[in-house]
Amino acid sequence: MRLDGRTALVTGGTQGVGAAISEALARSGADLILHGLRDDDLCQKTVERCRKHGVNVATVFVDLMRPTSDAVGELFSLAHRAAESIELLVNNAGSFIDKPFLDMDWDTYERTMRLNASSGYFLTQAFARRWIERSIQGRVLFTGSINGQLAESDHTAYDTSKGAVWMMVRSLCVALAPHGIRVNSMAPGLVVTPLTAPTLENDAQAMHWMKLHTPNGQVPTADVCGPAAVFLLSDEATHIHGQTLLVDGGMSVWQQPDLPAIFRR
């Protein structure tokens, strides 16, 4: 699966799942525009790893928690200053800024929806208009989550935003497939990223609990997400539209994990 000759914009592409996707795309030959919030050590390390694969890598920095129209317009403009033609769009930017439902406030909810859902929706619109105008058969990949299907009690805003992504991919498929534009998503389960590592690495019980609830018993690094992204953006996936590929070790299909022996006595 090769992406030579194509350029990808990866939002949130400098760390975590986004960095894993970025490096996998670079390994497959795609030039990159990596979007992030700031130019920090994580960003520079990701850029260095990607450039080792012999591709061009540019960076752009925009806060996608700002009002959506301003932020998306700025990102779209900066990306096309870095590269005239961008054929691949990866809407990966997202964060976990949730609160318990009874403590939720308008600002936290709206920032969550802006970053995790609205920015990708309107960035896809901006790209689609340009692609249709120029007869480019673009490809869009969203990063969803198993939280788009499986709820957690204190993560209502995050789960709602990821549920929106799940349906957004289907709706945009119907809208854009007639124009030759493919839209799909990838939904990771729990993976180790800078966001999750502090909890997982310092809480052996939490790590054990997560492994217990995953059929293959693994909580991997974000690198497992890269190959799935490459596949969904590649020519090999040409007839795949509006789908979400779960990369979760089977967590989403297990109705009731097997109880440890101590509970079966």
Nearest to 28 by CA among 61, 59, 50, 48: 50
Which tokens hold the place of 183? 């839209």
Give the CA-trace dihedral at 219, 37, 80, 185, to 10 degrees: 30
Q: Taking a C-beta distance cutoff of 8 angstroms, is the pair 248, 146 a contact? A: yes
For the chain, the C-alpha Rg in angstroms (whole number) is 18
How many Å apart are CA 102 and CA 157, to the nearest integer? 11
Backbone φ and ψ for 100, nearest 5 degrees, come out as -55, 150
Q: Give the active site residue among 76, 127, 142, 158.
A: 158
Residues 6+ apart with CB under 8 A from 227: 24
| DSSP assigned state of 192 | B
- Would strands 7-10 and 31-36 be described as parallel, antiparallel, or unpaired? parallel
Q: Is 121 considered catalytic here?
A: no
How many Å apart are CA 78 and CA 75, to the nearest integer? 5
How many Å apart are CA 79 and CA 75, to the nearest integer? 6
Catalytic residues: 158
